[in-house]
């Protein structure tokens, strides 16, 4: 470099990622999800999943950008029925993919607020 050239060093700005949910909220949502699932004999378990996951995602900020969960229990319920029918038809083999399918559905329905 010659002496006439100036070198600019960009100062990196630290952008934080954090979770701002509280313990009492988590306990409350967990108890509510459990009660709804038990009282409906498991029929509303997809609602419990979406409720708890929405709480988790809606309290998450990733690199300065808040996340938002846009999925609904009705949307998950249709997939839930399909996935369990596939599990029954394949004599349980499809159950190995249930966790992956649920995670894919969660990510598909997670967006940035801005």
23-55 pLDDT, tens digit each: 999 999 999 999 999 999 999 999 999 999 999
* Residue 99 to residue 97: CA distance in whole angstroms: 6
C-alpha to C-alpha distance for 105 and 102, rounded to whole angstroms? 5
pLDDT (tens digit, 9 = 90+) per residue, 45-102?
999 999 999 999 999 999 999 999 999 999 999 999 999 999 999 999 999 999 999 9
Numbers of helices and strands, H then E, in the chain: 4, 4
- Of 5 and 31, the structure prediction assigns the larger pLDDT to 31
Q: In which band, very low, low, confident or very high, does the pLDDT at 14 lie, cut at 50, 70 and 90? A: confident
Identify the burial level of 13 via C-beta atoms within 10 angstroms of its C-beta, where 0-12 means exposed, 13-18 middle and 19 or more buried: exposed
Query: What's the DSSP call for residue 49?
Result: H
């Amino acid at each position: 470099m010659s002496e006439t050239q100036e070198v600019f060093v960009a100062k990196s700005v630290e952008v934080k990622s954090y979770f701002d949910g509280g313990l009492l909220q988590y306990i409350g949502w967990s108890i509510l999800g459990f009660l709804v699932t038990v009282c409906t004999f498991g029929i509303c378990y997809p609602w419990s999943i979406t409720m708890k996951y929405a709480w988790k995602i809606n309290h998450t900020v990733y690199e300065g950008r808040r996340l938002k969960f846009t999925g609904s229990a009705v949307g998950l319920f249709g997939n839930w029925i399909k996935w369990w029918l596939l599990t029954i038809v394949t004599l349980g083999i499809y159950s190995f993919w249930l966790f992956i399918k649920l995670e894919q559905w969660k990510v598909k329905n997670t967006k940035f607020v801005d």
